[in-house]
Amino acid sequence: MIHHERSLSIDAQPYAVWAILSRFMHIDDFAPHVTSVDALTKGEIGVGSKRRCHFANGTSLVEEVTEWHINKGYRVRLSEMAAMPLTEAHAAITIEPLAGGRSRVIWSMDYQMKYGPLGWLIGQTLVKAMISRVLDGNLQALADKAQADEIPYMQFAYY
């Protein structure tokens, strides 16, 4: 598996960041490339929750929560990603508290490429560059939303 991660320090409390991220079925509220989300499960959000993310280029993929840590982050397994040259992929988002009411958000991807050694090379270069752009865009949009003061303090308690 190839591991890649990006991080960003955000001028927002961890609970404000979690209030956004814990709305798992609403990643399209901030992620710039996600145009819509289909909830594939009902009930409380947590391990086992599934969503289908639709992208501006007409593709989609499914994400299933495999780890859920309230106020700290979550991990998902990606599937139904035929448009991508991947055999397996996982993503994780981690929130770390910083001094002064700030947060550090780490968004990582672990992925296995198709096409053997050539795929590995493509994964280390082209795919990693593409993932960096997507993750950086997601992190900045998350920061913008968290810093907009739209999140009431107690909202996090319900997730």
Contact assessment for residue 21 and residue 67, using Cβ atoms and an 8 Å cutoff: no
Maximum alpha-carbon separation in the chain: 49
Q: Give the residue from 76, 71, 38 showing the smallest Cα distance to 54.
A: 38
Q: Give the residue from 81, 47, 80, 51 showing the smallest Cα distance to 65.
A: 47
Q: Give the residue from 52, 69, 50, 70 showing the smallest Cα distance to 61.
A: 52
CA 106/CA 115 separation, integer angstroms? 29
Alpha helices of 10-127 — where are they, by DSSP H? 14-21, 116-122
| pLDDT of 95 strictly over 50 | yes
Q: pLDDT-based confidence at 148, cuts 50/70/90?
A: confident
The pLDDT assigned to 133 comes to 96
Question: Mean pLDDT across the stretch 137-155?
Answer: 79
Neighbours of 5 (CB within 10 A): 15
pTM: 0.89
Q: Strand, coil or helix: what is 57?
A: coil
Look at 36-40, 101-105, 145-149 and tell me which has the smallest mean pLDDT.
145-149
| pLDDT of 11 strictly over 70 | yes
The pLDDT assigned to 83 comes to 86
Q: pLDDT-based confidence at 151, cuts 50/70/90?
A: low
| pLDDT of 71 strictly over 80 | yes
Mean pLDDT of the chain: 92
| pLDDT of 105 strictly over 90 | yes
The pLDDT assigned to 159 comes to 41
Of all residues in the chain, the percent with pLDDT exceeding 70 is 93
Looking at residue 61, its amino acid is L
Q: Give the residue from 101, 141, 137 showing the smallest Cα distance to 14.
A: 101
